[in-house]
Amino acid sequence: MSDTDNHTNRSTHGAHADHDARTDHGMRGQIRDTGGLLSDALQQVVALVRGELNLLRAEMDENVRKAVAAIGMIIAGVVIMLVALNVLAAALVEAITELGLEAGWAALLVGVVFAIIAAILAAKGTNNLKVTSLAPTRTTKNVERDGEAVKKAL
């Protein structure tokens, strides 16, 4: 083998070694880049979940306040109804009796009127406490939208 052939073999062998080193370095860089991207994505998902949990907490607090107000309305309605029944029932029965209706029928008529008023108040309060009105609807919509965005990104 001549000096020229040896030089060519060393140059060729050196070129392969350089190429292999660059390829290994390039792959390591890509792995680091991929790892960084996965880390960034994970951080964003964690931040998103924290944000959604904060929204859920705020929405649930708001809904609990609404529920407390609705319960207050029910209690106020019941108290007012009882006071009204006690004060007005006797007066109405007496007034109707003086108009010519027997006392029993007058008491029945007054009782039915108060029962209707009580039913309206109770229905309104119960309607305000429905589970669907207390559910965290904004958070649910945001989580669904976020899930779709993650699916599209993958």
**What mean pLDDT do residues 69-94 have?**
88
Query: Residue 77: which domain range?
Result: 3-148
Average confidence score pLDDT of the chain: 78
Angle between helical axes of 137-153 and 3-98 (0-180°, round to 10): 160
Tell me, yes or no, whether 63 lies in a domain.
yes
CB 109 within 8 Å of CB 101? yes
Q: From CA 97, how far away is CA 1, in angstroms rounded? A: 136
Tell me, yes or no, whether 153 lies in a domain.
no
Tell me, yes or no, whether 29 lies in a domain.
yes
Tell me, yes or no, whether 154 lies in a domain.
no
CA contacts within 13 A on the Cβ side of 82 = 5
Report the candidate in 117, 131, 128 with the shortest Cα–Cα distance to residue 78: 117
Tens of pLDDT along 36-69? 777 888 888 888 888 888 888 888 888 899 999 9
User: Is the confidence at residue 103, as pLDDT, over 70?
Assistant: yes
**What mean pLDDT do residues 78-101 have?**
88
Report the candidate in 35, 56, 68, 25 with the shortest Cα–Cα distance to residue 135: 56
Structure confidence at residue 74 as a pLDDT band (50, 70, 90): very high
Tell me, yes or no, whether 124 lies in a domain.
yes
**Domains held by the chain: number:** 1
Residue with more model confidence, 82 or 22: 82
User: Is the confidence at residue 18, as pLDDT, over 60?
Assistant: no
**What mean pLDDT do residues 112-140 have?**
81
Tell me, yes or no, whether 36 lies in a domain.
yes
Report the candidate in 12, 140, 98 with the shortest Cα–Cα distance to residue 4: 12
Neighbour-count burial of 121, counting CB atoms closer than 10 A to its CB (0-12 exposed, 13-18 middle, 19+ buried): middle
pLDDT of residue 105: 93
Q: In a 3-state reduction of DSSP, which class is residue 119?
A: helix
pLDDT of residue 89: 85
Tell me, yes or no, whether 76 lies in a domain.
yes
User: Is the confidence at residue 82, as pLDDT, over 90?
Assistant: no
Tell me, yes or no, whether 80 lies in a domain.
yes
CB 51 within 8 Å of CB 138? no
Structure confidence at residue 95 as a pLDDT band (50, 70, 90): very high
Q: What is the pTM of this model?
A: 0.38
